[in-house]
Amino acid sequence: MRSLSVLVLLVLSVLGWATFEAFRAKADLLEAQAALQEIKIALDQDDAVAVDRAIDHLADVAGSAADRTGGLLWSGITHLPLVGDDARGVRSASESLSVIADDGLSPLARSYDEFDHLTVDRRVDVDLVRELTPRLEASRDAFGRAVAIVDGLDSRGYAPSLRTIFDEYVSTIGTTHRTLEQAAAASSALPAVVGADGPRDYLFVFENNAEIRATGGLPGSWALIHAEDGLLTMTEQGSGSSFGERERPVLPLSPQERTLFGEQLGTYFLDANFTPDYPRAAALMAARWSEVQGGPTLDAVVSVDTVTLSYLLQGIGDIEVRDTEITATQVVTALLSSVYAIYAPEDQDEVYEDVAAEVLDAAKRDLVSPYNFMRAIYTSAQEGRLHIAPMRSELPAALLRGPVGGGLAQSTGRPRVDVTLNDATGSKMSFYLRHRVDVDAVGCADGAQQLTGTLDLTQEIPADQAADLPDYVTGAGRYGTTVGEQLLLIRLFAPAGGAFGQIVIDDEQIPRRYLQIVDIDGRPAVTVVVQLDGSTPSRLTWEMQAGAGDQGDVDVRVTPGLEPGTFNTVVPSAC
């Protein structure tokens, strides 16, 4: 009996010690989260001293967590009832954290101070970029190893407080790893992009979110950028409207494209991005540009929207255009609303050209925050606001992954849903448009996921007030829409090999005979017309089925609006 009592006491003592050590290790993970946040804040504030201090703090915490969870005794605890599951999670997170502290952050810390010298004499320092690339790759690989350690662990059985910390940690390092993948790819490509291996010419297209298009906004203005030996020069500028409308499409359109988008996809430069397939839109714009402007041969087409400019100004600093200071916080309003109240239509294009020229010029000078500048490029790419389409030169495939490549995905094992918006008012009323998309995977039958979706649309100004806006903003009813209201073409793209179920607009099911479903490269697509007057929101709902076998998580891509942030989501699989 005494031996049994001793055994029970020993087990309780071990459990008590294990619980205490697990609590302390959990506290280390919580402090690690705080240290990672300190690093982010220091980077945001461009404080190199604070960055180094936060990295040292994280290293100390990682060492403490590793000491607590290493060794045979902790390994034994992972097999105990009640606490074993938690102990395995804590140990894995501690091992992952050690990899980051030892190998993931030190290459970045050694590079951070050098970011301030990326441009010298208004040129990109290509030699410095080539020095930084291996460090970014080393950091990327370290974070990849750290992610692999915790990837796939099921935290649902952990104690609630630990589960929250663990899940936040996994999410944080996963996001950082994806960021570093893009940063390393961009750094590797940058020397060639800026003409280190020979001159390059790029057509930059500036999308106006005040007139929404599938990829973001109307391609209202453009600039030709010449890159050579690290120096970027703006050699030409113009407006999208200057190309006019062709009698025939500039490139042949498929019957499906004609049905879904209309002839203007190929006849009108301003409507080339009716399609969300950016490589196709870029090819149409490049063909029309080359036809009118002649040479040089384009290496790529790059599009950015006005929200991207607001992000870039956080790194560039304020600019001055026509004796007016433009800041990151008010550039969207300045360019998408105020400009129409201040300038006549014939002068507005020149304002946009002046802004583009000043942004490029400022970017070649000393940046206010190189980190914020690079973060702006990454964020814009992830939000689908920055697109790149090669026309001639090869760009690394890694650089074009995700939203930046802008292609319409086919079957990859992960279903893809695209929800796009196009203005049909012929106005700048999209400045007052707000939209939100929610998609859910609600079932799985015979290996095919069942999906439901909702698009909520709101006009934030009543029609009677909007009617007092300048004609250039309202469209003046030129195309039949009541002044003060806006007409939208909503296009839904189901996953490859999938199908549409019922589609409902404002509680009224649209009869099947009125739905013209078109197959675009294996993806069913349909157009729904919605008119907003500002009095009540409008809601579009739908049912979809994914292709058989595509049982991964669902990627949802949505036309970005003028509100900062991403409209894209990933929905957990129902299979």
**Per-residue pLDDT tens for 179-196?**
888 788 888 888 888 889
Bridge partner residues of 504 (DSSP): 509, 541
pLDDT of residue 105: 81
**Cβ neighbours, 10 Å, residue 460:** 11
Q: Residue 550 and residue 441: Cα distance in Å, rounded?
A: 12
**Cβ neighbours, 10 Å, residue 532:** 23
pLDDT of residue 235: 95
Q: Which of 561, 173, 129, 201 is nearest to 374 (CA)?
A: 129
Burial of 251 (0-12, 13-18, 19+ CB in 10 A): middle
Q: Which of 246, 207, 211 is nearest to 481 (CA)?
A: 211
pLDDT over 90 for what percent of the chain? 54
Bridge partner residues of 486 (DSSP): 532
pLDDT of residue 404: 78
**Cβ neighbours, 10 Å, residue 300:** 20
- Which segments in the chain show pLDDT lower than 70? 1-26, 44, 46, 63-87, 112-113, 393-402, 411
pLDDT of residue 397: 63
pLDDT of residue 91: 77
pLDDT of residue 13: 42
**Cβ neighbours, 10 Å, residue 255:** 8
